[in-house]
A and B are shown apart, each in its own frame.
Chain A
Amino acid sequence: RKEVEQDPGPFNVPEGATVAFNCTYSNSASQSFFWYRQDCRKEPKLLMSVYSSGNEDGRFTAQLNRASQYISLLIRDSKLSDSATYLCVVRGTGANNLFFGTGTRLTVIP
């Protein structure tokens, strides 16, 4: 079983739409959770960390449900520049290495 499972998409949404991505993780003892963004043929870049209380950064809202081992990312008022692959990333207990999902591809259409 994979450590992190994501719907690969693709998600094609019009500008201004709201879109939500979800992922699940298998290790209940996982400590830290993140969403990374990866543009085509570029490196992954940290978008935001995810906290149990939920957190928001502008148009982006991330939530964590530890009981269900579920992480979400909500993007409001989508922009063309939001088109990218969004990677759900989890850090396990006592480890410095990260576990990545396969990513969800988003295309925002004019």
Chain B
Amino acid sequence: EAGVTQFPSHSVIEKGQTVTLRCDPISGHDNLYWYRRVMGKEIKFLLHFVKESKQDESGMPNNRFLAERTGGTYSTLKVQPAELEDSGVYFCASSQNQPYGYTFGSGTRLTVV
């Protein structure tokens, strides 16, 4: 079984530019989550999709972040315009019915310069 795939693995962009991160969950997993780890801090929840619907987006830091999951398959997380404090590792995770069945992707390391 393929795991959770994230693309790109690394991205370096300039402040003010736009970046789009992609996550392909495990096939058949309805739940998809985005998390983020900023330097020196703990991993924090951003949002949760159930199929194509946003179940909880309470962790999204501001309106520069936009997540979509069209068709309930893969998801994208767009940051526009990027700021320096957006640098960090963005993890995607998926699960079927139970939250403790989370499988994380290997993350996208975003650096904003």
Contacts A32-B100, A42-B106, A43-B106 given: A96-B42 contact, CB under 8 Å?
A: no
Indicate whether B25 reaches chain A with its CB closer than 8 angstroms: no
By a CB distance below 8 angstroms, the chain A residues around B31 are 96
Of all chain A residues, the one with the shortest Cβ separation from B41 is A102
Interface residues of A in 56-104 (CB under 8 A from B): 87, 91, 95-103
Most chain B beta-carbon contacts within 10 A, residue among A4, A87, A100: A100
Indicate whether B64 reaches chain A with its CB closer than 8 angstroms: no
By a CB distance below 8 angstroms, the chain A residues around B102 are 46, 98
Number of B interface residues at 8 Å Cβ cutoff, please give it.
Answer: 23
Contact of A97 among B40, B48, B104 (CB under 8 A): B48
Most chain B beta-carbon contacts within 10 A, residue among A32, A41, A44, A101: A44
What CA separation (Å) do A102 and B44 show in the bound complex? 10
What CA separation (Å) do A102 and B40 show in the bound complex? 8
- Are the CB atoms of B44 and A96 closer together than 8 Å? no
Contact of B42 among A32, A46, A49, A101 (CB under 8 A): A101
Indicate whether B74 reaches chain A with its CB closer than 8 angstroms: no
By a CB distance below 8 angstroms, the chain B residues around A99 are 45
* Chain A contact residues: helix, strand, loop or mixed: strand
Interface residues of B in 37-69 (CB under 8 A from A): 40-45, 48, 55-56, 58-59
Contact of B48 among A43, A45, A96, A102 (CB under 8 A): A96
Interface residues of B in 80-113 (CB under 8 A from A): 91, 99-100, 102, 104-107, 109
- Are the CB atoms of A49 and B44 closer together than 8 Å? no
Contact of B59 among A34, A97, A102 (CB under 8 A): A97
By a CB distance below 8 angstroms, the chain B residues around A95 are 56
By a CB distance below 8 angstroms, the chain B residues around A96 are 31, 33, 48, 55-56, 99
- Are the CB atoms of B99 and A44 closer together than 8 Å? no
Query: Which residues of B are interface residues toward A (Cβ below 8 A)?
Result: 31, 33, 35, 40-45, 48, 55-56, 58-59, 91, 99-100, 102, 104-107, 109
